[in-house]
Structure 1
Amino acid sequence: MTRTGAAAGHVGYFHEAVCYASDEELLAVVLPFLVGGVDSKEPTVVALGPEKADLVRRALPGSCLSGVSFLTGGSMYARPAAAIRAYRELLAGHVADGAGQIRIVGEIPRPSLGATWNWWARYEAAINHAYDEFPLWSLCAYDTRITPSTVLSDVLRTHPRSLHADGRHEPSPTYAAPTSFLSAWPPVAVDPLEEGPPLITLVDPTAAGARHAVRLVDPGLPGDETEELVIAVSEVVTNALRHGLPPVRVRYWAGADRIVVSVTDGGAGPSDPYAGLLPSRDSSTGGLGLWITHQSCNYVAFSRDEAGFTLRLTAGNPY
């Protein structure tokens, strides 16, 4: 099967941003995209939040509804590494069934446009590589009425092109190759809890000791969130002890709705720009452990400074 629409003749992932300022603008872009997919008998998917999904569903011609799959945007975009894993499984299934092109329109949930945008920006950059083996054409929708200007700037840097309500497909003049964007290590704002003294500080702990400390500071989060953080802390501390430089310092903070754990060692951190977002089988770098960690926390942030490399893990509600 050949590819259709703007992606005709393109090999690999055709990744576009849609920055819209009204529901009418969103529909002007999305409806032709979806109808074109259905008419071409291509797998056609919507992964938007409930309100936008209902808007699109109501606006679609009745003859097209059965040809469009609606996924729950919030569950698909719960965590970046999990989203990559789920989408790769979805895409691989469609290709195995003979799809010559898959169309997806998605939208990262509004809370992710705030303090945790850093790891979603990494996601948007990484998928240019992670999905490039598939004949995917996707639209990533951003509502400019609620999206900060700094986020919109990153959107243009992580999307090779944009699609506009008048049908124009424009290359992004600020697009950065994934490895370039991911290697930049932009500074990450600290959690407000970290402005106070940590509840517990451990130096060169065992993995078991680091796990136990999570339970000591737990403010009563749902059990599954605490257990996922325990797994993540164990992986990160083990990585730091094996692959980092001493000392390894682990600090714990807790508020009413979250736990924050930072793990710092004297090394430079992983050299793989996709660390955490894609699995690595290289046991010499701890890449698989970082990938597990990204599946197990509600927010993961990297930073480097004169003290070394720090991984910050958050369970509960990221600030």
Structure 2
Amino acid sequence: MTAANLHEALCYDSDDHLLAVVVPFLLGGVAAGEPTVVSLGPRNAALVRAALPALVGVTFLAEGAVYARPATVIREYRQMLRAHVAAGAGQIRIIGELPPEIFGATWDWWARYESAVNHAFQGFPLWSMCAYDTRITPGPVLADVMRTHPATAAPGGRHLPSGTYTDPAVFLMEPRQPLADPLQADEPHADLKNPNGTATREAVRDAACGILAAPSADELLMVVSEAVTNAHRHGRGAVRVRIWTGADRVLAAISDEGPGPQNPFAGLLPPRDVTRGGLGLWLTHLFSDHAVLDRRPDGFTIRLTAGNPHWC
């Protein structure tokens, strides 16, 4: 089977199940002369390497190093796809998996990633599979997987349509009710009403002092400043900035009374026309360790984490 642009889930329950799908997928790509790429964690990468013939033409990306931040992954994959197409590729195959630690506190933005790539990679001759081990993947995550992948891959060359697939333009605008960081149960380190740039920067610097190293502190300063500028420029009503600190992270929440960005892909994809806005939200996704878009009836909040986002 070949497809100009196919995004499939591979939900497997054993090593044999995984290999029964992945090995024919990869060997088929090699036989067809297609760029064939593996981006799996160390354990599964070793399983696949051992199952493939020696010297087979499969590219293994750095194990565990690819999936850091969703917007970065999309940007880097698009660069790779452009390079392969420029070199004459008519079809590209990729098998990848997200690290299991993202199934907790940060799953919300990875669910948005899985939905957005259905749009982000349009126009590329890409056949991609996203592997999920059903033995360790939580039920709500698997439900999102089925909603963000149009089809699932199964042994024997079967490809089954997902009965719950949701168009990204719909999925990405839904209120996702992300998990609250436990830091939010305490009084914030700073609580600013309609702050200007100077007050925002001072509050961020003070909060980050002694917690974040210089690069992370500088990135947090930039992304919070961008978010506050966006709230003043594009939001409605009062702007509120709250900052919490913990032993291993700093959390900032920037709120206004508006509905939030109306572009479903805002933050995950760079804007085509920067004169119409959207660049700042993309930067917040590129330089935050976790970015949450929280849409509620009473307003919109973007929550930005610098440091360790995996608190559960």
Same fold (TM over 0.5): yes
Mapped partners of 1:208, 1:24: distance in 2: 58
Match of 2:149 among 125, 144, 159: 159
Which amino acid letter does the alignment assign opposite residue 85 of structure 1? R
Gaps in structure 2 of 5+ consecutive residues = none
Contact conserved, 1:123 with 1:277, CA < 8 A, in 2?
A: yes
Mapped partners of 1:103, 1:283: distance in 2: 32
1:165 Cα deviation from its structure 2 partner:
2.5
Which amino acid letter does the alignment assign opposite residue 54 of structure 1? A
Moved more, 73-82 or 16-25: 73-82
Match of 1:19 among 5, 11, 31: 11
Deviations 1:177-235 (A, max 9, x none): 11111121221121110011101111111223212212211242232222111111011
Question: Is residue 287 from structure 1 mapped to residue 243 from structure 2 by the alignment?
Answer: no
Map of 1:147-296 to 2, 5 A cutoff?
Answer: 147-218=137-208, 219-283=210-274, 286-296=277-287
Which amino acid letter does the alignment assign opposite residue 75 of structure 2? R
Mapped partners of 2:227, 2:191: distance in 1: 15
Which amino acid letter does the alignment assign opposite residue 270 of structure 1? P
Match of 2:126 in 1: 136
Moved more, 135-144 or 303-312: 303-312
Which amino acid letter does the alignment assign opposite residue 237 of structure 1? V
Match of 1:308 in 2: 299
Contact conserved, 1:73 with 1:106, CA < 8 A, in 2?
A: no
1:306 Cα deviation from its structure 2 partner:
4.2
Match of 1:3 in 2: none
Which amino acid letter does the alignment assign opposite residue 229 of structure 2? T
1:75 Cα deviation from its structure 2 partner:
2.4
Match of 2:116 among 114, 122, 126: 126
Match of 1:33 among 14, 18, 25: 25
Match of 1:84 in 2: 74
Which amino acid letter does the alignment assign opposite residue 299 of structure 2? G
Percent identity reads 55
SS at match of 2:64: helix
Mapped partners of 2:225, 2:114: distance in 1: 28
Mapped partners of 2:117, 2:97: distance in 1: 14
- TM-score norm. by structure 2 comes to 0.96
- TM-score norm. by structure 1 comes to 0.94
Gaps in structure 1 of 5+ consecutive residues = 1-5
Structure 2 vs 1, CA of residues 37 and 194 (structure 1 numbering), >3 Å: closer, same or farther? same
Which amino acid letter does the alignment assign opposite residue 134 of structure 1? F
Contact conserved, 2:240 with 2:255, CA < 8 A, in 1?
A: yes
Moved more, 107-116 or 88-97: 107-116
Map of 1:36-75 to 2, 5 A cutoff?
Answer: 36-64=28-56, 67-75=57-65
Structure 2 vs 1, CA of residues 73 and 154 (structure 1 numbering), >3 Å: closer, same or farther? farther
**How many corresponding residue pairs?**
309
